[in-house]
Amino acid sequence: MPRFPAPVVSRLPAVGTTIFTVMSRLAQECGAINLSQGFPDFSAEDLLFERVSHWMRAGHNQYAPMAGVPALREAIAAKVAALYGASYDPETEITVTAGATQALFTAVAALVHPGDEVIVFEPVYDSYVPSIELAGGVVKRARLSAPDYRPDWAAVRALVSPKTRMIMINTPHNPSGTVWSPDDMRALCDLVRGSGIIVVADEVYEHIVFDGRRHESAALYPDLAERSVIVSSFGKTYHVTGWKVGYVLAPQALMAEFRKVHQFNVFTVNTPVQLALADYMMDASRHLGLAAFYQAKRDVFRAGLAGTGFELLPCTGTYFQTVRYGAISDAPDTDFVQWLTREVGVAAIPLSAFFGDGRDERVIRFCFAKRDETLEAAFERLRRFC
């Protein structure tokens, strides 16, 4: 095979294979129960698949409009108005994307210029930082710490400078399972008021909030909505992560810039799936019932670990549970999850993977978006060794 004639100079020299891929591959190799990567092992209801099939057979198999099929954008606008009292124009302020990761990347690529500073909260989802670096931005990290992973707003304010272009937030928060409070959102409002700072709000778990809490969407706060790119995910909401369909809300001026990039890195998204999702959204109980569904799974998961040496940290949203394992082992978290996968037969994610400096608080993350029988099998293994 011919060799490339010159050394390849990487634009992301510090980036390797994601921890999610590494742990899912190891789980498969070891026959372990995969509670690492964040996807359900159960299916959506048949009606959703039937609607996809319907639109395929009806001949809707060519390119959708660049911004998304009108019926789906209108359904999104109706949902957002009902939940958050916010009005978004389906024609100019809503775009359907190829999942949330593409939406986040596109927002950064469209709005961050070389030398701009972008504040992120770590532990931070692993796609944020590479997106910023590829745009030539400078990452500024606000640290969230165990056990509650709440923002320190004085520390965040200290990171703001004349070069601050963007703040990326994530609530409910992956990996910690923390949900921001109204006080957090008001603090963010105060921080950006009168500035040119753009907020990218990753709200993919917006419908998975527990214990009677409300999801504090940026759309609820006019001071934030006017400067925010809000990202959500049908994959998380309807148990179809492999479909990779999400959407973005933004005021027209920001959306115009977003679409300039979107039209060239994706252009458009699967047509029959969009039409099926528009049909499926008509029954609001399908997203409104998600919190109770996953709260029940959270409670089962926490009860299942009660007899182990794991220390359960708070979980008020998402389908992730973080735990401390110091009573079981003093190994670094990356070594501990390897042992857990190989010897115990349950895969998890080390939280050090979400910190730029590899900060290790001896905390790991489990995903409980699994069938009851999967969780019970995992409990049996964990109780035996942990």
Tell me the CATH number at 122: 3.40.640.10
The verdict on 224 and 241 lying in the same domain is yes
Residue 1: inside a domain: no
The verdict on 135 and 107 lying in the same domain is yes
- Using one digit for the tens of pLDDT, what is the confidence trace for 133-167? 999 999 999 999 999 999 999 999 999 999 999 99
User: Stretch 243-265: mean pLDDT, rounded?
Assistant: 98
The verdict on 139 and 238 lying in the same domain is yes
The verdict on 226 and 327 lying in the same domain is no
Neighbouring-strand partners of residue 138: 117
The verdict on 372 and 270 lying in the same domain is no
The predicted pLDDT at position 1 comes to: 57
pLDDT at residue 301 above 80?
yes
The predicted pLDDT at position 100 comes to: 98
Residue 85: inside a domain: yes
Residue 229: inside a domain: yes
Beta carbons within 8 Å of 15's beta carbon, 6+ residues apart: 130
Residue 9: inside a domain: no
**In the listed set 227, 260, 283, which residue is the last one of a domain according to the structure?**
283
The verdict on 241 and 304 lying in the same domain is no
Alpha-carbon gap, residue 222 to 209, rounded angstroms: 22
pLDDT at residue 380 above 90?
yes
For residue 192, give the 3-state DSSP assignment: helix
The verdict on 293 and 267 lying in the same domain is no
The verdict on 26 and 100 lying in the same domain is no
Percent of the chain beyond pLDDT 90?
95
The verdict on 236 and 89 lying in the same domain is yes
Residue 12: inside a domain: no
* Long-range CB contacts (within 8 A, 24+) of 22-27: 23/337, 23/341, 23/347, 23/348, 23/349, 24/347, 26/338, 26/341, 26/342, 26/347, 27/341, 27/347
Average pLDDT of the chain? 96
Residue 3: inside a domain: no
Alpha-carbon gap, residue 386 to 379, rounded angstroms: 10
Contact at 8 Å (CB) between 305 and 312?
yes
The verdict on 249 and 306 lying in the same domain is no
**In the listed set 236, 266, 283, which residue is the last one of a domain according to the structure?**
283
pLDDT at residue 3 above 80?
no
- Using one digit for the tens of pLDDT, what is the confidence trace for 66-78? 999 999 999 999 9
* Amino acid, res. 278: A
Residue 5: inside a domain: no
- Using one digit for the tens of pLDDT, what is the confidence trace for 276-291? 999 999 999 999 999 9
The predicted pLDDT at position 7 comes to: 81
pLDDT at residue 244 above 60?
yes
pLDDT at residue 2 above 80?
no
The predicted pLDDT at position 6 comes to: 77
Contact at 8 Å (CB) between 243 and 236?
no
The predicted pLDDT at position 4 comes to: 64
Residue 79: inside a domain: yes
The verdict on 35 and 61 lying in the same domain is no
**In the listed set 255, 283, 311, which residue is the last one of a domain according to the structure?**
283
User: Stretch 83-94: mean pLDDT, rounded?
Assistant: 98
Domain count, the chain: 2
The predicted pLDDT at position 18 comes to: 86
- Using one digit for the tens of pLDDT, what is the confidence trace for 330-377? 999 999 999 999 999 999 999 999 999 999 999 999 999 999 999 999
The predicted pLDDT at position 33 comes to: 97
The predicted pLDDT at position 203 comes to: 98
Give me the domain span that covers residue 55.
Answer: 46-283
Structure tokens at 358: 């590899």
The verdict on 276 and 335 lying in the same domain is no
Tell me the CATH number at 294: 3.90.1150.10
